[in-house]
Structure 1
Amino acid sequence: MELSDEITINAPKSTVYAALNDPEVLRRCIPGCEELIQHSPTELEAKVVLKIGPVKARFAGTVTLDTAGAPDGFSLMGEGKGGAAGFAKGGADVTLTDVEGGTRLAYNAKADVGGKIAQLGSRLIRGTAAKLSGKFFTAFAAEVSESPVG
C-alpha cells in the first residue's frame, strides 16, 4: 500500500524539522500513541493502540530515521507487532520546502501489513491509514503553528 500527501504548515522549516524530531510533539500528534521513547537521535520505540475496522490492537514497534538529507528531508523505516492482530512494516520519505506562509511538508509512504488486519481488505486498511495520517498532520500543523519548538 502506498500513501502520499502534503500540507502547508505556518512555521519556518527549521521549526517544522525540530518538531518532527521532538518525541513529545510526535507522541501528542500520533493517533493512539501511548508511549514514544527516543533511544538515540535516529532510533525511536513506540506503543500505539489502533482500531482498524473490527480489529483493535496495541502495536509495539521501532522507527529508524535516516537524516542524511536534513533539514530538507529525511526517511524513516519502521515495523510494529500487534500480537494476534498482525504486523505492519514500512517506510516514508518526507521533504520540507520553504513556501510563502511557511513550510510545505510532503510525504510518500509504503506499508505492508499481515495477520488479521491484512484479512480486512486493502480498501479498509487504506482508508484507515489515510484517516490516521490526516489526523496526525492536522494535529502536527496545529501544534507547530501554535507553539513553535526550539
Structure 2
Amino acid sequence: MQMQGSRLLSITQQQAWEALNDPEVLKVCVPGCESIEPTADNTYAVVSQIKVGPVSAKFKSTIQLTDIQAPDSYTLNFEGNGGAAGFGKGTAKVRLSPQGDGTQLDYEVEATVGGKIAQVGQRLIDGVAKSMSESFFKRFDEEMQRRHPPAADAPAAASGTAAESAGKKIPGWAWGAIVVILIVLIAWASQG
C-alpha cells in the first residue's frame, strides 16, 4: 500500500528538526512508545505498545535512516513485529519545509502489513489510527508551546530548555518512531 500526507507545525523548520530528534519529545508525544535504543549507525530499536480493539501487542521495530539531508528530509526504512498480532515493513520519505511562520511536514509511505491485527474491522482500525495521530500531534503542539513559548514569555520559560536537551539529542531518525507507529496502524486500515 502507498499513502501520503502532510501537517502544518507552528514552529520553525530548525525547531521541528531538533524536536523530532529529541528522545524526550518522543517519550512525551508518541502514544505507546516504551523505548528507543541505538543499535548501529543510523539504526535503532523501538518498542511500543499498541492496542486495536481486542488485539493488543508489544511491537518491536527496527528503524534505519538513509538519505539524510538535515534539516530538510530523510528516508526511513522500518520493520515492526508484534508476534502473532502482526507485522509491518516499508519505507517512509519525510520532508520539512518552511511555511510562513511555521513548518510543513510531508510524508510518503510504502508499506506491507499482515497478521491477526490486519483482520480487525477497518472502521475500528481507522478510528484507532486517527486517534493516535491526533493524540501525537496534540501532545507535540503542547510540548512545542512549552519549549518555545510566545516571545513575551520566552525569557522566563526558556531558561532550562537548552540544558534539558543537552546530551539527549540523537541523530535525525526520530520522526521514524512516530511514522512506524502511526503508519503501521494506518496501513492496516488500508489493507482491511
Q: What is the TM-score with the length of structure 1 in the denominator? A: 0.84
Q: Which moved more, 1:116-125 or 1:10-19?
A: 116-125
Return the letter of the residue paired with 1:142.
E
SS at match of 1:131: helix
Partners of 1:63 and 1:76 within 8 A in 2: yes
2:153 is aligned to none
1:51 is aligned to 51
Structure 1 or 2: more strand by fraction: 1
1:84 is aligned to 84
SS at match of 1:27: helix
1:102 is aligned to 102
Q: Which moved more, 1:25-34 or 1:121-130?
A: 121-130
1:113 is aligned to 113
Partners of 1:9 and 1:145 within 8 A in 2: no
SS at match of 1:59: strand
Deviations 1:51-103 (CA, angstroms, capped at 9, x unpaired):
11210111111111124332111121211111111212222211111111211
For structure 2, the residue ranges without an aligned partner over 5 or more in a row are 149-160, 163-192
Q: Which moved more, 1:66-75 or 1:27-36?
A: 66-75
Cα distance change on mapping 1:46 and 1:147 into 2, 3 Å: same
1:132 is aligned to 132
1:37 is aligned to 37
Matched, 1:28 2:16: no
SS at match of 1:68: strand
SS at match of 1:71: coil
> Matched residues in 1 for 2:110 and 2:121: separation?
16
How much does 1:127 deviate?
4.2
Report the identity percentage.
41
Q: What is the TM-score with the length of structure 2 in the denominator? A: 0.68
How much does 1:122 deviate?
4.6
Structure showing greater Rg? 2
> Matched residues in 1 for 2:29 and 2:53: separation?
21
2:171 is aligned to none
> Matched residues in 1 for 2:138 and 2:45: separation?
23
Aligned residue pair count: 150
Return the letter of the residue paired with 2:4.
S
Q: Which moved more, 1:98-107 or 1:119-128?
A: 119-128
